[in-house]
């Protein structure tokens, strides 16, 4: 029995082993728990104004000069904008791009709304909703006007779309799409 008594570790050794075990299990568990909890935290809004370059059908940035040289005032082109949504980019007067772009997603059921040049309005092919040239709803069943975004031209002549956060100029109300 004397040999068995010699093999019992002392308290300092036990404490060291317990700390090593707690660290080996606790550190990965804490990291995993932190990553899991981070999934539930909403992403922060984009920095620097949250702008995004408008893209053409091939994914290339839209250059303002090239866009305007092929279009007359009032002509529109479907581009990829904020959140990957389709937006109507509008050529304005005096060879400038309008200060806003119109989201092409119908507020009724989400169909892409084409521009009807002959009638000078947007007409949804799914259920017949109609919007005026600025995207304001004129005939239902769509309950709301089309969302809009600011347009700017940066130093490299790229058209940039930025979220519209102030009062909607078409309705005089706060934007519903925030």
d(CA 106, CA 130): 9
Q: What is the pLDDT of residue 44?
A: 64
Mean pLDDT across 17-35: 90
**Contacts from 31-40 at CB under 8 Å and sequence distance 24+?**
none
Of the chain, the percentage scoring pLDDT greater than 70 comes to: 93
Contact by Cβ (8 Å): 168, 124: no
Q: Residue 153 forms beta bridges with which residues?
A: 159
Give residue 45's pLDDT.
52
User: Residue 130 above 90 pLDDT?
Assistant: yes
Q: Tell me what pLDDT residue 74 has.
A: 83
**Location of structure tokens 């990965």:** 28
Give the pLDDT band of residue 121 (cuts 50, 70, 90). Answer: very high
Tokens 């899991």: give the residue.
36
């Amino acid at each position: 029995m004397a040999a068995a008594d010699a093999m019992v570790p002392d308290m300092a050794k036990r404490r060291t082993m317990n700390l090593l075990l707690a660290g080996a299990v606790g550190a990965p568990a804490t990291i995993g728990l932190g990553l899991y909890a981070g999934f539930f935290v909403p992403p922060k809004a984009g920095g620097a104004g949250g702008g995004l370059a408008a893209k053409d059908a091939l994914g290339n940035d839209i250059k303002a000069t090239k866009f305007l040289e092929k279009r007359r005032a009032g002509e529109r082109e479907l581009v990829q904008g904020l959140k990957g949504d389709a937006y109507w980019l509008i050529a304005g007067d005096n060879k400038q791009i309008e200060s806003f772009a119109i989201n092409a997603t119908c507020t009724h059921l989400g169909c892409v709304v084409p521009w009807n040049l002959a009638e000078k309005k947007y007409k949804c092919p799914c259920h017949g909703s109609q919007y005026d040239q600025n995207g304001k709803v004129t005939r239902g069943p769509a309950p709301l006007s089309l969302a809009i975004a600011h347009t700017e031209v940066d130093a490299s002549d790229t058209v940039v779309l930025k979220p519209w956060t102030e009062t909607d100029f078409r309705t005089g109300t706060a934007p519903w799409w925030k």
